[in-house]
Amino acid sequence: MEEMFDYAGVKYNKCTLDHAQKSSETFWYHIQPEWIDLSFFYENVFHYIDEEYLRAIRMEDNVKILLWFPSEGFHLNMPRFIEDIMYSLADKGIPEEKLYIVFGDLRIEENFKTYLQKKKIDSKIKTFGLNIFELNYWIETNRMYFSKNRMTEINPNAELVHQSEVNFEEHRTKRFVCRNANPRPHRIFVASQLYKKGYDQLGYISFLNRYYTPGIPHNINDFTKDETILETAHEDMKEFLKKTPIVLDENAETIGTDLNQRRMQKEHYLNSYFSIINETVCDSFPGDPLFITEKIYQPMLQLHPFVVFGSRGTLEYLQDTGYRTFDKFMLIDEKYDRASNSADRMDQAMECVRRLCAFDLEILHKEYIKIFDNLVYNQQHFLKLNREEYLEKFVKWLKQ
């Protein structure tokens, strides 16, 4: 968190409890969990708050808890999360209004209200949805390619597509890029369908099985409503997983080194026309989170349009933050972004992929050229991110 604040120009001071007790300013006890399963069960992060700080949080109006967890955006019914937090607050005698949660779900305020209504409970916990990945990826991009102290072992010219390198005369031999590291269930389904349809011959696909070797997902009805696909989906995924891991550049071991998971090979993008993005969160039930990660910004940096398998409202959010999306590019209909059911959304997104893979390369090439100005605009819009303004709404929320 401190690194984000430093880059965004947010001023803060590290203080002791003595400072808090001698001032009327607000003091924050900062909690930053690494991951839910390691942090929110008894004994947990609340259990290890020193007694003197715990007493101040209970009794002093100006001492509060900031739980910083924007790196995840799963639904609030996730076991051992909100329920354990509320239990721990009660167990430790911490007033709920003292807890401020920063989370990666950009609909957290709305979804938290819905969660409370369904549980028929009340809570004074305050929530804020923050897209930390755009700023974080901008920082990482700077580190890798642009800053004075950048990683000198990285050659930007070998990894970043510059608009001057785009050849308008020659057709590219591939259609798409689809990169997958962590084998989340919806990614297994999407990749298995790409292989079933023979699209693996048309694009660059990776599937690394990072962290673990997956089994076959059982929640297939979350991915499609197509009865024909449902009949064979289990077998399709089973056959696909036999082919994994599928490596393009980094493998499951090397991708975690330094910033390897953020690096790309520009020839993949210079020799294809669009990206298929399997975002981290795609489900709409039991919650409806909106979670955006660096995966959405990577193709923009490489002058690629994209189809995204992700949260409802992903494209709308990008438009609201100044990016241009690709409605009507090669008959893409971005109404899929508004589908409230994940199966409907994925079916419609897959239809967009089917259309893009069906057209002749000559037509695809011409259509790519037509939207090229928008692709350059998106790349520059990302690179010109105003870091000083990025956390303004968050800071105002803290001061409310």
pLDDT in tens, 317-356: 999 999 999 998 877 899 999 999 999 999 999 999 999 9
Same-domain check for residues 191 and 339: yes
- Choose among 97, 92, 84, 85: nearest CA to 47: 92
Residue 22: per-residue pLDDT:
86
Task: Report the chain's mean pLDDT, rounded to a whole number.
Answer: 94
Per the listing, tokens 């949080």 go with: 57
pLDDT of 42 above 70:
no
Same-domain check for residues 219 and 335: yes
Per the listing, tokens 């409802």 go with: 312
* CA separation for the pair 81, 348 (Å, rounded): 32
* CA separation for the pair 400, 371 (Å, rounded): 43
Residue ending a domain, among 96, 130, 164, is 130
Specify if 45 maps to a domain.
Answer: yes
Same-domain check for residues 205 and 352: yes
How many CA atoms are closer than 13 Å to the CA of 259, on its beta-carbon side? 20
Q: In which region does residue 257 sit, left (phi positive, over 0), alpha (psi from -120 to 50) or beta (all else)?
A: beta
Tokens (6 digits) for 140? 């990482």
Specify if 122 maps to a domain.
Answer: yes
pLDDT of 38 above 70:
no
Backbone angles phi, psi at 202, to 5 degrees: -105, -10
- Choose among 305, 245, 300: nearest CA to 276: 305
Residue ending a domain, among 95, 130, 165, is 130
CB 125 within 8 A of CB 86: yes
Q: Is 183 helix (H, G, I), strand (E, B) or coil?
A: coil
Backbone angles phi, psi at 331, to 5 degrees: 70, 15
Same-domain check for residues 335 and 237: yes
* CA separation for the pair 265, 275 (Å, rounded): 13
Count of domains forming the chain: 2
Give Cα separations from 295 to 72, 227, 235, 269 (angstroms).
14, 30, 28, 14
Same-domain check for residues 123 and 157: no
Residue 371: per-residue pLDDT:
96
CB 323 within 8 A of CB 380: no
Specify if 264 maps to a domain.
Answer: yes
Specify if 142 maps to a domain.
Answer: no
Note down the domain range covering 4.
1-130
Same-domain check for residues 107 and 223: no
Question: How open is the CA angle 133-138-141, to the nearest 5 degrees?
Answer: 120
The gap between the terminal CA atoms of the chain, to the nearest Å, is: 20
Residue 176: per-residue pLDDT:
99
The amino acid at residue 276 is: I
Specify if 287 maps to a domain.
Answer: yes
Give tens-digit pLDDT for 378-400. 999 999 999 999 999 999 999 98
Torsion from C-alpha of 86, 91, 93, 97, nearest 10 degrees? 0
Q: 121-130, 208-217, 251-260: lowest mean pLDDT where?
A: 251-260
pTM for the whole structure: 0.94
CB 349 within 8 A of CB 225: no
Same-domain check for residues 123 and 201: no
Q: 140-144, 283-287, 291-295: lowest mean pLDDT where?
A: 283-287
Residue 240: per-residue pLDDT:
98
Same-domain check for residues 252 and 352: yes
Name every residue whose Cβ is closer than 8 Å to that of residue 241 and which is 6 or more positions away in sequence: 188, 192, 214, 216
Residues in the chain: 400
What is the DSSP secondary structure assignment for residue 34, as one 8-state letter?
Answer: S
Tokens (6 digits) for 283? 């489900």
More confident position, 285 or 158: 158
Same-domain check for residues 125 and 164: no
Specify if 137 maps to a domain.
Answer: no
User: Where does 200-341 have alpha helices with state H?
Assistant: 227-243, 266-270, 298-301, 314-320
Specify if 81 maps to a domain.
Answer: yes
Q: Is 328 helix (H, G, I), strand (E, B) or coil?
A: coil
CB 237 within 8 A of CB 216: yes
How many CA atoms are closer than 13 Å to the CA of 315, on its beta-carbon side? 20
Mean pLDDT confidence for 350-365: 96
Specify if 261 maps to a domain.
Answer: yes
Same-domain check for residues 122 and 159: no
Residue 317: per-residue pLDDT:
98
Same-domain check for residues 219 and 353: yes
